[in-house]
Amino acid sequence: MELPEEDELVLATIRKIMPYGAFCSLDEYGVEAFVHISEVAPRWIKNIHEFLHEGQKVVAKVHRIIKEKNQIDISLKRVTESERKRKLESVRREKREEKLFSIITTQAKMTSDEADGIRKVFEGKYGSLYDGLERIAQKGEEEIKGDEFGRFGAVILEVAQKNIKKVKVQVGGVLMIKCYGKEGVDAIKAALSTIVDMAGMEVAYVGAPRYKISVTADNYKNAEKRIKEAVDKVDCEMKGKNGVVSFERE
């Protein structure tokens, strides 16, 4: 029987609630786990039913495993909001990739052995099915050239491009702009005006001397490149006007 590891994030379904805790099933492992009432919330709980109900799905963290007893203790309060969102997104992607792969195998009329072979190609080349489908959706025909996907390449490309939107990423931070010259605010406005028309660029006033900038692009490489170009442009403008520029990443 496969068990999760300590500190692993898991998706659990509440099955039976007791006054002192709740018994759960771990969706990805098919095993039972227990969450003690002290691990449900960061504050004292008078009535556990205020927080949990049977059939509820929750993101939990494994905090103790006693293998000789097949005992798994999980915690809800030890899961941060960012961890919860990341786990739910991971589960969503896994369900999505299996649905898309099912469409591919059906449309391509693959045998089970052929499907296993294509799955191994995806995992070996991209790490996961979904990552591979995203890549193919973005790159198009050039990504399926060669013999790796054989006669199934056209179907894989069609399904990927039809069902996966191009990925957009955003990077940004805060520009600190100070001007010691007589131009002052006008000099800063002029410097910022040199970047507002850059593709995917957003500029917002936070509070002197802070200005938030962010760039949306197809990938992190291009986004990082544009952010650097923007900072360099503003810095160049301000140097000629007795100004100082610094940049803090978010």
Domains and CATH numbers, the chain: 9-79 (2.40.50.140), 82-163 (1.10.150.190), 169-249 (3.30.70.1130)
- Confidence at residue 167, expressed as pLDDT on a 0 to 100 scale: 62
C-beta separation of 34 from 76 below 8 A: no
C-beta separation of 143 from 149 below 8 A: no
| CA-wise closest residue to 233 among 182, 195, 180 | 195
β-partners of residue 10 are 60
Amino acid residing at 86:
R
- For residue 4, say if its preceding peptide bond is cis, omega within 30 degrees of 0: no
Sign of CA dihedral 123, 127, 128, 133: negative
| CA-wise closest residue to 33 among 244, 202, 9 | 9
> Could you read off the pLDDT of 100-150 as tens digits, one per residue?
999 999 999 999 999 999 999 999 999 989 889 988 988 888 888 878 898
- Confidence at residue 197, expressed as pLDDT on a 0 to 100 scale: 87
- Confidence at residue 21, expressed as pLDDT on a 0 to 100 scale: 96
Gap between the Cα atoms of 221 and 11, Å rounded: 33
- Confidence at residue 129, expressed as pLDDT on a 0 to 100 scale: 92
Overall pTM > 0.75: no
Amino acid residing at 52:
L
Q: Which residues of the chain have pLDDT under 70?
A: 1, 166-167
